[in-house]
Structure 1
Amino acid sequence: MNDKIKINLQIADSNYPLTIERKDEAMVREAAKQVNNRLNAYRERYKNLGSEKIIAMVAYQFSYEKLQLLERNDTGPYTAKMEELTELLENCFKEE
């Protein structure tokens, strides 16, 4: 059974037909809503800028926020510490 659906999203005054997984529909629509909300906020605040610059600012803002989240969720330091502690424990058990 194919669980894909076709939807139309309107982003920045343009329509985008998409085929997506049914389970992803709410998230896809929410993402488009967030983009449109930010576009409208920038349009209101920077009335003298063209659409292309405003879209670039929105893309930058989302990208920056994603990088912040990735950095905050970086488990590298914890993984390194766990490996160090595991090695210490293994050495202790070898000595016994």
Structure 2
Amino acid sequence: MGEISIKINIADRVYPLKINMEEEEIVRKAAKMINDRIKEYQDNYAVRDKQDLLSMSVLHYATATLRAEKKLSEGDIEASDTVYKLDQLLGDFFQSK
């Protein structure tokens, strides 16, 4: 699909972007998530500076991403170990035949 031009509002600033058409929903959803997180921090903490709110939001999403990547990596290791054990069992089984 082709590229489209959209405008995204984050922390009361408008950012013009060119993105692939199929990514529009994801980009808009991401901007909404960021704005919602900023609002949550603004409501719950005595922080009014948009830069601080953006930094706190970025830290939140970066740590969430790293946690998810770590979990995936650990899952890959677990799956690899399981496949290895199954391979050993099958090898032992067929050698005994």
How many angstroms does 1:7 deviate by? 0.6
Give TM-score, length-normalised by structure 2. Answer: 0.81
How many angstroms does 1:68 deviate by? 2.4
Give unmatched runs, 5+ long, in structure 1. none
1:83 aligns to 2:84 (yes or no): yes
Question: What residue in structure 2 maps to residue 72 of structure 1?
Answer: 71
The two structures, once aligned, show a CA RMSD in angstroms of 1.8
Q: Tell me which stretches of 4 or more aligned residues in structure 1 moved more than 4 Å.
A: none
Give unmatched runs, 5+ long, in structure 2. none
Q: How many residue pairs are counted as aligned between the two chains?
A: 95
How many angstroms does 1:95 deviate by? 4.1
Q: 2:47, 2:27 → 1: CA distance?
A: 30
What SS does structure 1 have at the residue aligned with 2:46? coil
Q: 2:38, 2:19 → 1: CA distance?
A: 24
Q: 1:30, 1:84 → 2: CA distance?
A: 42
Question: What residue in structure 1 maps to residue 8 of structure 2?
Answer: 9
How many angstroms does 1:67 deviate by? 2.2
Give TM-score, length-normalised by structure 1. Answer: 0.82
Q: 1:54, 1:48 → 2: CA distance?
A: 7
1:22-65: CA deviations, max 9, x gaps? Answer: 11111110000000011111112223452222211111111122
2:41–2:47 CA contact under 8 A, matched in 1: no
Q: 1:14, 1:95 → 2: CA distance?
A: 70
Q: 1:48, 1:4 → 2: CA distance?
A: 37
Aligned-pair identity (%): 26
How many angstroms does 1:81 deviate by? 1.8
Q: 1:19, 1:94 → 2: CA distance?
A: 59
